[in-house]
């Protein structure tokens, strides 16, 4: 079994939390997820804290701006990019202060190349996805920016192992040719699996850090993720339809970040760690793997981000995920 960069029985969050207080968000994460904390993202703070704006802020020599409510490649950095950088700096300052002395694994997140390509506009109009050359430039730029970001986090928390999560909610639509054009009357051409894996691998190989690809959309492209040589895949368990590719991924040594905890209260009920752990155990059991490998290869997570949840529910949910991780370790 591979040597995974997280402790057995770990739990973590996907990324986003509600509210606008970075200090409080970091306290919640470090308090509830001590074995595998993540850098919280707070999209309620507005442009530059959203998935695309924050992700585009990592691009090197490809500045962006907001134009008609959308992020667009532009010729020169401006106030939108300065705001994005300022928000990230505040988050990293909180991580530096509150994780002082931390020696475990810390997870950071950024939008992946395909989600950015499907969302960022070219200066002449249309998504970057329409131009393979632009996608290549975007990927190279993102790889360099994330390499610098990982190095910065290492300097701020020198005892920690850094784990990078690439958020790719648009990847299935990119592969299926379902990303709509501006008119909405047609869609961009489908990207084939090997090309998609190549661009992801460009980012993975540029980093001196393990990478997780997260996608909480249906039809997770398991082969593309495996071919990109990442350490793990993060997914929403409730959307899983076909178990065969999951079993193949486990056999190939891929870690699984299993989104087994609902991001909203079910009938007003408090999240229960026992039920979360049972969902994870049931998946592993159906796949027929020895129980001893479960706590090493699997990390328990919420189904997706928690930006739309209430603060009390977030605390309860993260606590339940942590306790579920402990439960699956008792094999």
Query: What CA–CA distance (Å, rounded) separates 180 from 126?
Result: 10
Helices (H), 220-310: 222-227, 244-251, 273-287, 294-297
What H or E segment, with its residue span, contains residue 226?
helix 222-227
Query: What CA–CA distance (Å, rounded) separates 283 from 237?
Result: 9
Partnered with residue 16 across adjacent β-strands are 41
End-to-end CA gap in the chain: 17
Q: Is the pLDDT of residue 34 over 70?
A: yes
| Predicted confidence band of residue 84 (pLDDT cuts 50, 70, 90) | very high
* pLDDT for 1: 62
Strands (DSSP E) contained in 18-136 are: 64-67, 70-73, 105-111
DSSP assignment, residue 87? H
Q: Is the pLDDT of residue 269 over 90?
A: no
The stretch 189-197 carries a mean pLDDT of 97
Burial class for 251, CB neighbours closer than 10 Å (0-12, 13-18, 19+): exposed
CB 257 within 8 A of CB 13: no
Query: What CA–CA distance (Å, rounded) separates 48 from 64?
Result: 10
To the nearest whole percent, how much of the chain has pLDDT over 70?
Answer: 99
| Predicted confidence band of residue 2 (pLDDT cuts 50, 70, 90) | confident
Q: Is the pLDDT of residue 331 over 90?
A: no
């Amino acid at each position: 079994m591979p040597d995974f960069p997280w402790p057995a029985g770990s739990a973590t969050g996907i990324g986003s939390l509600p509210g606008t207080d970075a200090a409080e968000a970091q306290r919640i994460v470090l308090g509830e997820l001590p074995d595998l904390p993540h850098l919280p993202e707070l999209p309620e703070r507005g442009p530059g804290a959203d998935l695309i704006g924050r992700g585009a802020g990592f691009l090197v020599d490809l500045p962006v701006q907001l134009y008609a409510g959308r992020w667009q490649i532009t010729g020169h950095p401006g106030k939108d990019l300065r705001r994005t950088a300022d928000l990230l700096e505040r988050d990293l300052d909180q991580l530096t202060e509150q994780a002082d002395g931390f020696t475990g694994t810390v997870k950071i997140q950024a939008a992946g190349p395909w989600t950015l390509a499907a969302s960022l506009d070219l200066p002449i109009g249309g998504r970057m996805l329409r131009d393979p050359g632009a996608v290549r430039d975007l990927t190279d730029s993102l790889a360099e920016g994330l390499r610098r970001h990982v190095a910065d986090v290492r300097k701020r928390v020198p005892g920690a192992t850094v784990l990078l999560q690439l958020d790719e909610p648009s990847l299935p639509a990119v592969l299926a040719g379902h990303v709509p054009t501006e008119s909405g009357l047609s869609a961009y051409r489908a990207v084939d699996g090997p090309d998609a894996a190549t661009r992801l691998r460009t980012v993975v190989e540029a980093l001196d850090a393990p990478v997780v690809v997260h996608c909480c959309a249906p039809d997770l492209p398991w082969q593309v993720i495996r071919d990109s040589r990442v350490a793990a895949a993060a997914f929403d368990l409730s959307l899983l339809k076909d178990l065969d590719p999951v079993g193949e991924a486990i056999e190939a040594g891929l870690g699984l970040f299993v989104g087994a905890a609902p991001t909203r209260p079910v009938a007003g009920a408090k999240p229960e760690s026992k039920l979360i752990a049972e969902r994870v155990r049931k998946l592993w059991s159906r796949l027929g793997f020895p129980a001893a490998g479960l706590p090493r290869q699997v990390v328990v997570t919420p189904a997706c981000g928690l930006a739309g949840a209430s603060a009390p529910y977030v605390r309860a949910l993260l606590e339940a995920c942590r306790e579920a991780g402990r439960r699956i370790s008792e094999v």
